[in-house]
Structure 1
Amino acid sequence: MDWVYEMVFAALIGGLVGSRIDYLIQNWDQVSGDLLGNIFSGSGLVFFGGLAGGAIGVIIWAVRKGALSWTLADAAAVPITVGYAVGRVGCQLSGDGDYGTETDLPWGMAYPEGTVPTTDEVHPTPVYETVTMGLAALVLWRLRDRFAPGVLFGLYLVIVGVERFLIELIRRNDSVAAGLTLPQLVSIAVAALGAAIIVARRSALRPAAAR
């Protein structure tokens, strides 16, 4: 089982580095004055940067081990989804600015003690994402043996892309092109990649899918 710990470590390091780089790029105007200090500060992580960095870390590890395969990608789908759900719990508890726009709904929440505080009642989008991705993890787990290698990972990419695109509709990020935020543009690319993987792998559908 040593390979499991090695893979998780590669994903963790790659994810942290990628997430941090993405944050610095998206907030360059705020961090460029003290770039070194902001690189090593304790706040500022972005999911899609972490996803890309973690994937790169695992790919590098897998290539070195000669273990790169669609089966490995599928094996990572459920843990990544669970990790996303758990990570949003941390965002909710810290009030780090990942919450949404103002709302009059009865479950709207304020984050007066958050790292990015607000006294307004806003959408608790980290809660929405925790619930959504938790359910997604259950679905992916139930489907884990029903498809050809690669399809499950493609499905994960579609789910996370669509989920993030929709949640951005009630987030506070500024639009950058065509009325869409940067995370929405990335979400479209991620979902499209997932759909392409599913289409490319569909011909190898396992007989178990017919059960």
Structure 2
Amino acid sequence: MYPNLYYLFKDVFGWNLPALKIVNTFGFCVAISFLVCAWLLVKELKRKQALGYFVYKEVTIEIGKPASIAELLINFFLGFLLGYKILGIFIIKGALNDPQEFIFSSLGSLPAGILLGLFFAGFKWWEKNKAKLPKPEKRNIRIWPSDRVGDITIIAAVAGFAGAKIFDNLENWDRFIQDPIGNLFSASGLTFYGGLIVASLALLYYFRKNKISFINVADACAPGLMFAYGWGRMGCQVAGDGDWGIINSAFVSNAEGGVQLAGSSSEFQKVLADNAQYYVSQFGSLNEVQHAAVKPFLGLPNWLFAYTYPHNVNSEGIPIFGCTWDNYCNHLPLPVFPTPIYEIVACLLLFAFLWSIRKRIKMPGRLFAIYLFVNGIERFLVEHIRVNTKYHFLGINPTQAEIISLGLIIAGVALYIIVPKLKAARQLAANINTPS
């Protein structure tokens, strides 16, 4: 496991670059997924624009104006924030030892913040002054949905992160009430479906405001969303952020964090009893510890069935013998199913499927309906071997993700069925409003 890029580059290439400690591997993978998703969205929006699914919007802009006070203040603030925190990591003594904790603290470099803030504001003034005209002009320009991908990506990122944090804390309420501020502003703890729901609501408002067909954009987003989810799970696996499965009791671990087949079920029970304090703190009782015994088959490697997540980013588990990796020297006492790997494979295959059928699905809304259905099925299945907080309702004990994924399956089926009726209703409304 590599909690940040520093350990990845040091282990793989032998490069000792402490500055890379500021780049969390999970965040790095999420950033890549956003960029790829945005690129795929641009391609799909342009294709649909050519087919007539979207129209442009004419807006009036004024060019040749000098930089406003608001623009200068915004650029100063952004520069100050980057200088205070990012440059501060390299200036403040000890910040590089735990850059994530430093970024989410109140510490920083005030001189670096002011200098970079002034540089950003000065650059903005110079940029606007260079294009200044003796008399500002008003011009009409056409804005297509593909021109708004930058705005869409930023809204999705901000709203998605907020939703992921909120739903994660709702799912782990006991942990949240112990330290509300710390959990809300921590660098870890994200729930994908929470991000998807809140980002979708924020984008729905944005699309309606700009008179863009939400259902057509949803179709354009569907393949990219599946890719982003799969690639995001890559970050979960590499960082070891806690999104793993239940214990595979066919295996046991060793002092270095490796795995080996258990000689018998009694060997698993012995290791479980030896680490009773850890598992009781996690589950409340050894009887509540979920596990299933599955041995390798078809010549597949052990790590595909059992993994202890050594050096995981949350420092979960017990110490690794002889480890010198700062605060990342733990591994799980017993191996678990590496569910992020299963989701990486499943979601990338589903992305390829959605991408391959996107041109054959002509009716707006149906590609997104298929995405909702397959996404819900994939997550609902993997939840059966994942560790998650369970709710107790009417004698059943579903997880938050099971409830939401079941809702997605139902929504996907319903949307697929009613899409023709929605199209017919739109055509009828258009005929009524068209003068004879």
TM-score exceeds 0.5: yes
| Range that drifts further, 89-98 or 114-123 | 114-123
Cα displacement (A) at 1:174: 4.1
Residue 81 of structure 1: which of 226, 248, 260 is its match? Answer: 226
Provide the rounded CA distance (Å) in 1 between the counterparts of 2:389 and 2:230.
24
Give the conservation status (yes or no) of the 8 Å contact 1:101–1:122.
yes
| Range that drifts further, 53-62 or 101-110 | 101-110
Q: Are 1:153 and 2:368 an aligned pair?
A: yes
Task: Show structure 2 runs of 5+ residues with no match.
Answer: 1-145, 251-294, 296-301, 318-331, 424-436
Q: Are 1:33 and 2:178 an aligned pair?
A: yes
Percent identical:
34
Counterpart residue number, 2:401: 183
Counterpart residue number, 2:307: 109
SS in 2 for 1:109: coil
Q: Summarize the alignment of residues 1-16 of structure 1 with structure 2, pairs less than 5 Å apart.
A: 1-16=146-161
Provide the rounded CA distance (Å) in 2 between the counterparts of 1:29 and 1:174.
10
Task: Show structure 1 runs of 5+ residues with no match.
Answer: 205-211
Provide the rounded CA distance (Å) in 1 between the counterparts of 2:406 and 2:163.
19
Q: Summarize the alignment of residues 1-211 of structure 1 with structure 2, pairs less than 5 Å apart.
A: 1-103=146-248, 104=250, 105=295, 106=302, 107=304, 108-114=306-312, 115=314, 116-117=316-317, 118-147=332-361, 148-176=363-391, 177=393, 178-202=396-420
Provide the rounded CA distance (Å) in 2 between the counterparts of 1:68 and 1:32.
40
Provide the rounded CA distance (Å) in 2 between the counterparts of 1:45 and 1:197.
28
Provide the rounded CA distance (Å) in 2 between the counterparts of 1:125 and 1:77.
23
TM-score normalised according to structure 1 size: 0.91
Give the conservation status (yes or no) of the 8 Å contact 1:109–1:123.
yes
Provide the rounded CA distance (Å) in 2 between the counterparts of 1:127 and 1:92.
7
Give the conservation status (yes or no) of the 8 Å contact 2:172–2:389.
no
Structure number with greater Rg is 2
SS in 2 for 1:149: coil
TM-score normalised according to structure 2 size: 0.45
Give the conservation status (yes or no) of the 8 Å contact 1:125–1:171.
yes
SS in 2 for 1:111: coil
Give the conservation status (yes or no) of the 8 Å contact 2:245–2:386.
yes
How many residues are paired up? Answer: 204
Query: Which structure dedicates a bigger proportion of its chain to helix?
Result: 1
Provide the rounded CA distance (Å) in 1 between the counterparts of 2:153 and 2:335.
38
Root-mean-square deviation over aligned CA pairs = 1.5
Provide the rounded CA distance (Å) in 1 between the counterparts of 2:219 and 2:347.
16
